[in-house]
Amino acid sequence: MEHKVVSGDSHVDMSWLPGDLFVNNNSQPHLQDLMPRIIETEKGLIWKAEGDNVLGVAQSAGFEFIPPQRGRRKRTDKMLDAGFYDGPARPVDPELRLKDMMTDGVDAEVLYGITGSGKNLKNMEVVTEVYRVYNDWVNEFSASYPGRWYGLACLPIHDSKLAAAEVRRSARHQYIRGADLMAGALNYPLYARDGYWDCLWEACVETDMPISFHIGGGRIPIPTTPDVNTGWVTQGQPTQNEHGYQAVRGSLGMFSMVQVMMGVIFNGSCERYPDLRFVMGECGAGWIPFALDRMDHIFDDGQYELKFDPPFSLKPSEYWFRQGYTTFQEEHKVGQIAHLVGYDNLMWGSDYPHPDSVWPDSLEIIQETLGNLEPTVVKQIVCDNAVNLYKMDR
220 band by pLDDT with thresholds 50, 70 and 90: confident
- The residue length of the chain stands at 394
Q: Is 43 helix (H, G, I), strand (E, B) or coil?
A: coil
Q: Domain range for residue 204?
A: 6-16+92-389
69 band by pLDDT with thresholds 50, 70 and 90: confident
139 in any annotated domain: yes
Read off φ and ψ for residue 9, nearest 5 degrees: -150, 95
What average pLDDT is seen over the chain? 95
DSSP 298-311: HHHHTTHHHHSSSP
**Residue 235 confidence (pLDDT) above 90:** no
Cβ atoms of 6 and 108 closer than 8 Å: yes
121 in any annotated domain: yes
77 in any annotated domain: no
169 in any annotated domain: yes
| Cα–Cα separations (whole angstroms), residue 314 to 271, 277, 339 | 8, 16, 20
Q: Is 109 helix (H, G, I), strand (E, B) or coil?
A: strand
**Residue 234 confidence (pLDDT) above 60:** no
Local structure of residue 195 (DSSP, 8 states) = S
**Residue 50 confidence (pLDDT) above 60:** yes
78 in any annotated domain: no
Distance (Å, rounded) from C-alpha 125 to C-alpha 139? 22
97 in any annotated domain: yes
34 in any annotated domain: no
Which pLDDT belongs to residue 217? 65
290 band by pLDDT with thresholds 50, 70 and 90: very high
106 band by pLDDT with thresholds 50, 70 and 90: very high
Q: Is 322 helix (H, G, I), strand (E, B) or coil?
A: helix
**Residue 73 confidence (pLDDT) above 90:** no
Strands (E), the chain: 6-11, 37-41, 44-49, 53-57, 108-112, 149-154, 176-180, 211-214, 278-281, 324-328, 346-348
Which pLDDT belongs to residue 313? 98
218 band by pLDDT with thresholds 50, 70 and 90: low
Residues 6+ apart with CB under 8 A from 341: 285, 288, 289, 326, 334
pLDDT tens, 319-377? Answer: 999 999 999 999 999 999 999 999 999 999 999 999 989 999 999 999 999 999 999 99
CATH number of domain containing 101: 3.20.20.140
**Whole-prediction pTM value?**
0.96
Higher pLDDT, 130 or 72: 130
Which pLDDT belongs to residue 124? 95
User: Can you tell me the mean pLDDT for 110-137?
Assistant: 95
288 band by pLDDT with thresholds 50, 70 and 90: very high
83 in any annotated domain: no
Q: Are strands 37-41 and 44-49 parallel, antiparallel or unpaired?
A: antiparallel
Percent of the chain predicted with pLDDT > 90: 83
Helices (H), 171-311: 198-207, 240-252, 258-266, 269-272, 288-301, 304-307
CA angle 348, 138, 208 (to 5 degrees): 65
Percent of the chain predicted with pLDDT > 70: 98
**Residue 233 confidence (pLDDT) above 70:** no
Give the total number of structural domains in the chain: 1
pLDDT tens, 246-274? Answer: 899 888 888 989 999 999 999 999 999 99
Of 138, 119, 122, the residue nearest 179 (C-alpha): 138
User: Can you tell me the mean pLDDT for 1-14?
Assistant: 96
Cβ atoms of 259 and 265 closer than 8 Å: no
User: Can you tell me the mean pLDDT for 157-165?
Assistant: 97
Which pLDDT belongs to residue 1? 84
DSSP 69-91: -TTT-HHHHHHHHTTTTSSS-GG
pLDDT tens, 180-217? Answer: 999 888 889 999 999 999 999 999 999 999 999 999 86
Cβ atoms of 63 and 69 closer than 8 Å: no
Of 206, 140, 174, the residue nearest 394 (C-alpha): 174
Cβ atoms of 88 and 96 closer than 8 Å: yes
Cβ atoms of 209 and 183 closer than 8 Å: no
